[in-house]
Chains A and B, each alone.
Chain A
Amino acid sequence: MSTALRDFIKNPTAAELELVARYGMQPEDARRERAFLAFAETGLPHRRMEAWKWTDFKAALKVLETPAAVSAKDPLPHDGALVFRFTPKGFEAPAKLPDGIRMVAQPSVQAFPGAEDVPMGALAAALAGSGKRPATLTFEITSGDAPRLHFVFEGAGEASFARIIFLVRSGASLTLTESYLGGSGLTSAVLEFDMEKDAKLNRTIFQRGASDEALAVTAIAHLGAEAEMTQTTLAFGAKVARMETRVVHQASGSKLNLNAAYLSGMGFHADITTNVRHGAPSCVTRQLTKGAVLDGGTGVFQGKFFVPRKTGQHTDADMQHQALLLEDGAQVFAKPELEIYADDVECAHGNTCGALDDAQMFYLRQRGIPETQARAMLTEAFIAEALGMADEAVRDVLLAEAQTWLSS
């Protein structure tokens, strides 16, 4: 079988061969096969693919290896939350879930439409379920005041995959926090959100990894009428790390806040990629991404608003990306993109990239604040803007994590 499997991917690297082998060890499943074929179409995404030109998994991940360090400690509070853990040993969930939250852990793979657009998501869907982990975890939320769900992803050696589906029923609301803590050579998770009419989601993502790890978190959300989604990401990157979010406004009146901050130091690469489709009239998107990068670090922002003819009328969408290059040797790549076919829309994007504002620095120093402190204050304030909409249970922790990084 393995020779035939070899042919899945053209000129495979050692890492890709290992992935093919892992696929070969899975039980046969037509849906799994479809997902894997979608991944195999390109193999690990690389710089010759337009969407991956700045984030090259193929080059960064030659072989699958267990990283040198174990997972980072989870800074997000577990108190008051229902905690779900993907650990090296398997998957842990609370013994009992309150009314309004239902969890189904399936051994089989769910169909994954649109897998071709997200090769790393397709890979996660194809390989989730190894070890003692479920192939697909599905949550159904029917309650309007369910406690926060907190997911912890701790490494499992060479590679770790997860696939989670959330169905947020009409009028229900979900507060979700996720900690991606590294500890695995390759981590890929794919999360899908199906939000019905009036459903609400507040999602917060904390990501921290090591400079010998690769990570991709792919989220796909569909928003029903008047649904509201707010997402906040704080990412520290890894050797390569991509936090990708694709949102479809599916019915009119839905609202999306899409915020992220990335902090990337020596040897780290943090990529925030988003794609928002205004597939229904009168939907609103507000997007703010902030980044700070040190010597030897890389930040990537790719954002796209797609507004189709007719269905996208009365779209109100704004995308802002602002990056600070704090030291020589830092690099930032950005592509804020608008593709618009409807005429009665208000769409804007802005992108700034550079050092701290001289005028602001001077103002603070004139008032007696020493340069280093002034710099820290301004940088913290700059990053904090992107974190302000995170759920209040975790907001301060995110701010503190960002502060610690900035002041060290």
Chain B
Amino acid sequence: MDCCGGTTEHEDDCGEVKVKDSIDAKTVEAAKALESENYSAGFSTTIDTDFAPKGLSEDTIRYISAAKNEPEWLLEWRLKAYERWLTMEEPSWAMVRYPKIDYQAYYYYAAPKAGAKYASIDDVPKEILETYEKLGIPLREAEVLLGVEGAVETAAEGREKPRVAVDAVFDSVSVATTFRKELEKAGVIFMSISEAVHEYPDLVKKYLGTVVPQSDNFFATLNSAVFSDGTFVYIPKGVRCPMELSTYFRMNAENTGQFERTLIIADESAYVSYLEGCTAPMRDENQLHAAVVELVALEDAEIKYSTVQNWWPGDEDGKGGIFNFVTKRGDCRGDRSKISWTQVETGSAVTWKYPSCILRGDDSVGEFYSIAVTNGRQQADTGTKMIHLGKRTKSRIISKGISAGKSDNTYRGLVSVNRKAVNARNFTQCDSLLIGDKCGAHTIPYVENRCASAQLEHEATTTKLSEDQLFYARQRGIAEEDAVALLVNGFVRDVLQHLPMEFAVEAQSLLKVSLEGSVG
């Protein structure tokens, strides 16, 4: 395969959007669903791809940096992280078991080669459009992602409010960013992080690694060394972002690790709602995903970050699937700032993820709303950390875990209250639902309170799906699988309410798909 150095970027101004790399026409023949009944995102796309040399070394990092034409400071930054990573050990405390990861067996950089884009929506195979629709990517935006010319305008017109701007990351590089011009008008910067490094180096330098330090943990350090692309968002003072922003990640190339890095900054009194969606095709090898997301909320700013994740979970025997080791952290730096995480986790073979809030500013607020569904042989160890530093800081954690099949689902959370965080408040509710008798549900909350005026409250329950409820619904004529979906939707309602409307609908159908075959 071709490992030529140099840039893979192929800048092509397409109306409002920069389509840097579009999908090869071969996609048309090749993109078809593999034998997957349950995983609707499980098609792979055959495209010519540029890879970095396999494995991880200083050379790989230099390759990545060169491929992205990065400034020297960033290369240094990466190399420093790599040096650090070599001294670190993979964490083993989570309740997940997986075969030892051979970090040399992955490609750390894969970029689709430039190719033709579709001339019109009619040229895009129906299956692909349908799949995008299933993935929750608005269809018009899907056209944009697929590089259909003129799609952007149609997309802009065709969508009802609220509209969503999409940044699509295909393997390692950002493929398209929509609605850019309109956002620019509002002063919002929304682009891939590689572009931001060039266009807004000062902002990137100022904030990169300030929430998740390079040395934070094994996977975050790895990401710091090899991160390939991701999204950069800056909302200036006093601006309410006029639309939802969204990144859509897709892993395609074989044996590829994906290491995206997202950095979102809401300046004073700014507001942004951001949605991240993830899918990967089915492949037998376990693909590695070690992302880092950093959020910074300054005074009176608010960031709402929603994730719908349905990475390929592996097959019923536990073969294949994504290893998802993600570090997400928000820093409520300013007084009265607010960061809210909402996640719907239905995918991945192994999930290791704790979106957290550092409540530094006085009166700042952190929220974590989570639905984690595991089925088959999936293992999820997920939760949050709320670090109360400022006065009167508040946090709220609502976690709903659903285990089915032979899966294990663990909530792990920390609420920590500093001595100075007077009158801090936390409320935590963790509910687990077991469907079937071969799965596990675990709740491991850590509470560290060093402040007498703080009030912390935690409640947790574990129950099974009620036979009585199931029968009641079926007596009214609702088929068993639909009844299960209905009950589960009821169970997770408190969390679904916190998702933007259209994604809540998507999440509901995703829950149903994830739980198919879990009863009867």
Chain A interface (Cβ < 8 Å from any Cβ of B)? 50, 309-310, 313, 323, 325-355
Q: Are A342 and B437 within 8 A (Cβ)? A: yes
| Nearest 7 pairs of A and B residues by beta carbon | A354-B455, A325-B452, A351-B458, A343-B434, A334-B447, A343-B464, A353-B456
Chain B residues, Cβ within 8 Å of A335: 444-447
CA distance A310 to B450 in the complex (A): 40
- Please report the number of residue pairs spanning A and B whose Cβ atoms sit closer than 8 angstroms: 124
A–B complex contacts, Cβ < 8 Å, 5 sampled: A325-B449, A336-B460, A341-B440, A352-B455, A355-B455
Chain B interface (Cβ < 8 Å from any Cβ of A)? 93, 419, 432, 434-464
Chain A residue at minimal CB-CB distance from B93: A50
Closest Cβ–Cβ distance, residue B463 to chain A (whole Å): 6
Given A309-B438, A339-B442, A341-B440, answer yes or no on A330-B452 (Cβ-Cβ < 8 Å). Answer: yes
Q: Are B456 and A343 within 8 A (Cβ)? A: no
CA distance A297 to B491 in the complex (A): 40
Q: Which of the residues A348, A349, A355 comes within 8 Å of B453, measured between beta carbons?
A: A355
Closest Cβ–Cβ distance, residue B418 to chain A (whole Å): 10
Given A328-B419, A329-B452, A354-B456, answer yes or no on A348-B461 (Cβ-Cβ < 8 Å). Answer: yes
Chain A residues, Cβ within 8 Å of B449: 323, 325, 331-334, 353-354
Q: Are B457 and A352 within 8 A (Cβ)? A: yes
CA distance A349 to B459 in the complex (A): 6
CA distance A352 to B447 in the complex (A): 9
Q: Are B450 and A340 within 8 A (Cβ)? A: no
Chain A residue at minimal CB-CB distance from B458: A351
Closest Cβ–Cβ distance, residue A311 to chain B (whole Å): 11
CA distance A217 to B436 in the complex (A): 39
Chain A residue at minimal CB-CB distance from B457: A352
Chain B residue at minimal CB-CB distance from A304: B444
Chain B residues, Cβ within 8 Å of A329: 419, 452
Chain A residue at minimal CB-CB distance from B454: A354
Chain A residues, Cβ within 8 Å of B440: 309, 339-341
Q: Are A338 and B463 within 8 A (Cβ)? A: no
Q: Are B452 and A327 within 8 A (Cβ)? A: yes
Given A331-B449, A354-B455, answer yes or no on A343-B444 (Cβ-Cβ < 8 Å). Answer: no
Closest Cβ–Cβ distance, residue A315 to chain B (whole Å): 10
Closest Cβ–Cβ distance, residue A369 to chain B (whole Å): 21
Chain B residues, Cβ within 8 Å of A340: 432, 434, 440-442, 462
Q: Are B458 and A350 within 8 A (Cβ)? A: yes
Q: Are A351 and B447 within 8 A (Cβ)? A: yes
Q: Are A353 and B447 within 8 A (Cβ)? A: yes
CA distance A313 to B464 in the complex (A): 11
CA distance A352 to B457 in the complex (A): 4
Closest Cβ–Cβ distance, residue A115 to chain B (whole Å): 23
Given A329-B452, A331-B450, A352-B457, answer yes or no on A343-B93 (Cβ-Cβ < 8 Å). Answer: no
CA distance A343 to B440 in the complex (A): 8
Q: Are B454 and A353 within 8 A (Cβ)? A: yes
Chain A residues, Cβ within 8 Å of B445: 334-337, 351
Q: Are A336 and B439 within 8 A (Cβ)? A: no
Q: Are A336 and B456 within 8 A (Cβ)? A: no
**What 9 additional pairs, Cβ within 8 angstroms, besides A348-B461, A351-B458?**
A330-B450, A333-B446, A335-B447, A340-B442, A343-B434, A343-B437, A347-B461, A349-B459, A353-B457
CA distance A333 to B457 in the complex (A): 13
Chain B residues, Cβ within 8 Å of A343: 434-437, 439, 464
Q: Which of the residues B451, B454, B462 comes within 8 Å of A345, measured between beta carbons?
A: B462
Q: Are B444 and A344 within 8 A (Cβ)? A: no
Closest Cβ–Cβ distance, residue B443 to chain A (whole Å): 4
Chain B residues, Cβ within 8 Å of A355: 452-455
Chain B residues, Cβ within 8 Å of A323: 449
Chain A residue at minimal CB-CB distance from B431: A348
Q: Which of the residues A328, A332, A345 comes within 8 Å of B464, measured between beta carbons?
A: A345
Chain B residue at minimal CB-CB distance from A53: B446
Chain B residues, Cβ within 8 Å of A337: 442-445
Chain B residues, Cβ within 8 Å of A350: 457-460
